[in-house]
Structure 1
Amino acid sequence: MDFNVKKLVKDAGTALSRVVQLTEEKLGTSEKTELDAHFEFLADRADATKTWTEKILKNTEAMLTPNPGNRIEDFFFEKIDKKKPNRLSNLEYVGIDMIEAGNDFGPGTAYGGALIKVGQCQQKLGQIERDFIGTAANCYVQPLRKFLDGDMKTISKERTILETKRLDLDASKNRVRKARSMLGQQSESGVSPEVLLDQAERELRVAQSEFDRQSEITKFLLEGVSSSQAGHLRCLHEFVEAQARHYAQCHAAMQDLQRELAGMSGATFHPSTPPSPSAPAENGQERARVICDYDARDPSELSLMQDEVICVSKIPGDGDYLMGVRGNQRGKVPKAFLEPIVAS
C-alpha cells in the first residue's frame, strides 16, 4: 500500500511537471526541444496520408452505399461481428415493379412484354451492382479502414508518448539550469546545491535516453507509411479493375436488352458505340455525331445511322444542309440530324 501511494504521488508530480512545462512553452517562457527536419517531414506526410485516406474512405463508402442509414446499420453489424442484412438495390426494386406491372398488363401485349424484359434486365443490373459493391469493399474499402484503425492509431499513440517524453526532457533541462543557478547559494531545503545538481543531471540523462528511444520507435513507424501507400496503390488498381468490369457487364446487359426490345417491335437495332478517333477532320472539315437515322431522299444526299460520326463542311448558300463525308461516300446531310463534336 505504501508503495502504491508513493507511485501515485510520483505520477502526480510528473503529470504536474508536464503541465507546467507545456504552459511555460505556450507563454514563451521556456525552451522546447525541436525534432529534426526529417522527422517533421515524416510526421507531416503521415498526417496528410491520414487526412486524405479518411476523406477517400468516407466518400467511397458513400458511393457504394448512398443511404446513410444503411451505412450506419452496416457499421453496427461489423462492430458486433454479425452478417450484414441482404438488401435489395433500387435497381432490383424497379425491376420487381416492372415485372409485376408487365404481368398485370399482360405478357402478350407490347408494353407488358417490354416491361417484363426491362424489369429482368434491371434485376440483372442490380445483381451486377451488388457484386461490384462487395468486390470494391473487399479490395479497397477494407484495406483503407484497416490502415486507419491499425497503423495510424498505433502511430498516433506513439507520437503522444513521444510528446510526453519530450515534455519530461525539457522539464529535466529546466531543473538542471535551475540547479546550476543555485550553486554557491544556500538551499531552502537544506540540501546542498551540488547534490541537487547531480540529481537533476541524472534525471536529465534518463529523460534524454527515453526520449531518444521513443523518437526512434516513432520514426520507424512513420517511415512505414510509404510501404502502406504502396499497398494502397495495389488496392486502387484492383478497385479500378472491378469498376471497369462492372461497367462492361452493365453495358453488355443493356446491349442485350436493346436487341430484345428491337426484336419485339421489329425495329432495327443500332449498337451504341463511342465516336471513333480514326476519322480525323481535314481541309476545314469538322466532325459531327448523328442524332438519329436518316434515309437519303435522292442520290445527292447521304444516308445516316444513329450515333455514327462523320466529317462535315459548310455548303455555300445553304443554311439547312452540310456536306457529309464517310470514307469514300459523300453527300448532303440535314443539319437537324447532326450534333457538332467540339474538339478538346
Structure 2
Amino acid sequence: MDFNMKKLASGAGVFFTRAVQFTEERLGQAERTEPDADLERLAGRADVTRLWTERICRQTEVLLRPNPGVRMEEFLYEKLDRTAPQRPASGQLLGRHMEDAARSLGPELAYGRGLLLVGACEQRLGRAEREFSQVSAVALIGPLRDFLEGDWSLITKERRLLENRRLDLDACKARLRRAQAAESKAATQPDFQETRPRNYVLSASASGLWTQEVEKAGDELQRAQAEFDQQAEVTKLLLGDISSTHVNHLRCLHEFVEAQAAYYKQCHLHMEDLQKELHYSALLGTTRYYSALLGTTRHNSAQLGTTRHYSVLLSTTHGSAGGSGQQGEQSGGGGDPPSPPPGSRRARVLFDYDAADASELSLYADQLITVYTVPGMDSDWLIGERENHRGRVPVTYLELLS
C-alpha cells in the first residue's frame, strides 16, 4: 500500500511538473524545442489523412446504412464481438408489401399485376443493394478502419512518447541554464548565499557545488537529447509510411468504385426489364379489351390478327422472339397461308396504322409482314400480306428486313 501511494504521489508530481511546463511554454516564459521541418511536414500530412479517413469512413457507412438506429445496433454488436442479424434491405421490404397487396387485391387486375411486377423488381434491387453493402464494407470501410484502429493508434502512441521526450529535453535544458547561471554568479560573488544544489552534501564552496550541478545537468541533457533524437527517427519512419497507406486506400477506392458501378448497372438492367414487363402487361390488358370489344362484331379476322400480334410481343419478353411468334401465326389460321410471290420481302411494322379503306391493310407496331410491289404502283406504297389478308401499306411505316 505504501508503494502504491508513493507511485501515485510520483505520478501526481510528474503531472504537476508537466502542467507548469506547458503553461510556461504557452506564456512564452520557457523555450520549446521544435522538431525539424521534415518531421513537421510528415506529421501535418498524417493528421490530414487521419481526419479525412474518419470522415470518409463515417459517410460511407451513412451511404450504405442510412438508418442511424441500424448503424448504432451494428456498432454495439461489433463491440460485443457478436454477429448482427441479417436485416432485409428497404427495397426488399417494399417489394414484399407490394406482393402482399397484389394478392389481397387480386393478381387478375391490371393494378394487381403491376404490383406483382414492381414488387418482384424491388426485391431484386434490395438484394443487389445488400450485396453492394457487403462488398463495400470489405473493400473500403474495412481497410479504413484498420488504419484508424491499427496504424494510426501506433503513430499516436509514438508521437505522444516523442512529446514526452521533448518535454524532458526542455526540462534538462532549463535545469542546465539555471545551474550555469548560479555557477557564474557564485564565481563572481564569493559571498553568494543561494541555497546549494539538491542532493549535494559536500563541504566545498558554492562555486564548486554549482560546477558539479552543471556537469550533472549536462550529462542529463545529453541523455535526453539522445532519447529525443532516437524517438524522432522512429516517429518519422512511421509517419513516412503514410505514403504506402495512401496507395492502399487508393486501391480500395478503385474496388469500391467498381462495386458501385456494377451495382448501378445491375439496377439499371432491373429497371429496364421492369419497364418492358409493365409495357407488355398493359398490352395484354389491351388485347383482352379488344377481344371483348370485337367479339360481337363481324371483324373476326382483325380480332384474330390483333390477338396474335400481342401474343407474339408477350412471348418475346421471355426470350422466345421470332420462333414462337411465327409458330403462333401458323397455328392460328384455318390452313397454311399461300406462298408469297417472287421478289417479296419480310418487313417489320414501326407504327400502328389504321386502314383508310378496304384496299389498305391495318398494321400494328412490331408486327412482321410480307411485302412486295406490283408494276405501275406508287413508290410510297407496297402490297402487304398478313395471314390471309392483303392490302396496300405505306413504306414509311415499315422497316424492310434483309
Q: Which has the higher contact order (CA 8 A, sep 6+)?
A: 1
2:231 maps to 214
**Is this contact kept in 1: 2:196–2:210, CA < 8 A?**
no
2-side partners of 1:99 and 1:11: how far apart? 68
Q: Specify the alignment match of 2:195 in structure 1.
A: 188
Q: Tell me how far 1:54 sits from its aligned partner.
A: 0.9
Cα gap change, 1:37 to 1:112, in 2 (>3 Å)? same
**Superposition deviation, residue 18 in structure 1:** 2.6
* Equivalent residue number for residue 50 of structure 2: 50
User: Equivalent residue of 2:87, what SS?
Assistant: coil
Secondary structure, counterpart of 2:86 in structure 1? coil
Query: Letter of the aligned partner of 1:257 in structure 2?
Result: L
Q: Which amino acid aligns with 1:188?
A: T
Cα distance between partner residues in 1 of 2:251 and 2:137: 14
Partner of 2:153: 153
Deviation of 1:59 (Å): 0.8
Following superposition of structure 1 onto structure 2, how do residues 47-126 of structure 1 map, counting pairs within 5 Å?
A: 47-126=47-126
In the alignment, the residues of structure 1 paired with residue 166 and residue 249 of structure 2 have an alpha-carbon distance, to the nearest angstrom, of 33
Match of 1:197 among 193, 200, 214: 214
Q: Which amino acid in 2 is paired with 1:85?
A: P
CA 1:11/1:194 → structure 2, altered by over 3 Å: closer, same or farther?
Answer: farther
Q: Which digits, 9 at most, give the CA deviation of each residue in 1:152-196, with x for residues without a partner? A: 121112111111111110010010011011115255136410111
- Aligned-residue offset at 1:15: 3.7
TM-score, structure 2 as length reference: 0.64
Residue 49 of structure 1 deviates from its aligned partner by 0.6
* Structure 2: segments with no counterpart, 5+ residues: 187-191, 201-208, 285-312, 315-349, 354-402
User: What RMSD over aligned residues (CA atoms) do the two structures have, in Å?
Assistant: 2.7
Q: Which residue of 1 aligns with 2:380?
A: none
Structure possessing the higher radius of gyration over alpha carbons? 2
Counterpart CA distance in 2 for 1:71 and 1:41 is 36
Aligned twin of 2:140? 140
One-letter amino acid of the counterpart of residue 20, structure 1: V
Q: Secondary structure at the match of 2:183?
A: coil
Go from structure 1 to structure 2 and tell me whether the alpha carbon gap of 1:253 and 1:77 turns closer, same or farther (over 3 Å shift): same
Aligned positions of 1:280-299 closer than 5 A: none
**How many equivalent residue pairs?**
277
Distance 1:14 1:201 in 2: 21
SS at match of 1:84: coil
Give the drift of 1:249: 0.7
Q: Structure 1 residues 6 and 86, CA, compared in 2 at 3 Å: closer, same or farther?
A: closer
Write the distance in 1 (CA, Å) between the matches of 2:60 and 2:351.
44
Distance in 1 (CA, whole Å) between partners of 2:63 and 2:249 is: 18
Task: Determine the C-alpha separation between the residues in 1 that align with 2:145 and 2:123.
Answer: 30
Structure-1 residue corresponding to 2:178: 178
Q: Distance in 2 between matches of 1:168 and 1:122?
A: 64
Mapped partners of 2:30, 2:41: distance in 1? 25
Alpha carbons 1:155, 1:221 under 8 Å: kept: yes
Give the Cα–Cα distance (whole angstroms) in 2 for the partners of residues 4 and 117 of structure 1. Answer: 73
**TM-score between both structures, scaled by the size of structure 1:** 0.74
Residues 199 and 7 from structure 1, CA distance in 2 versus in 1: closer, same or farther, beyond 3 angstroms? farther
Contact 1:18 1:171 in 2 (8 A): no
Could you tell me which residue of structure 2 aligns to residue 162 of structure 1? 162
Alignment partner, residue 279 of structure 2: 262
Instruction: State the match for 1:329 in structure 2.
Output: none
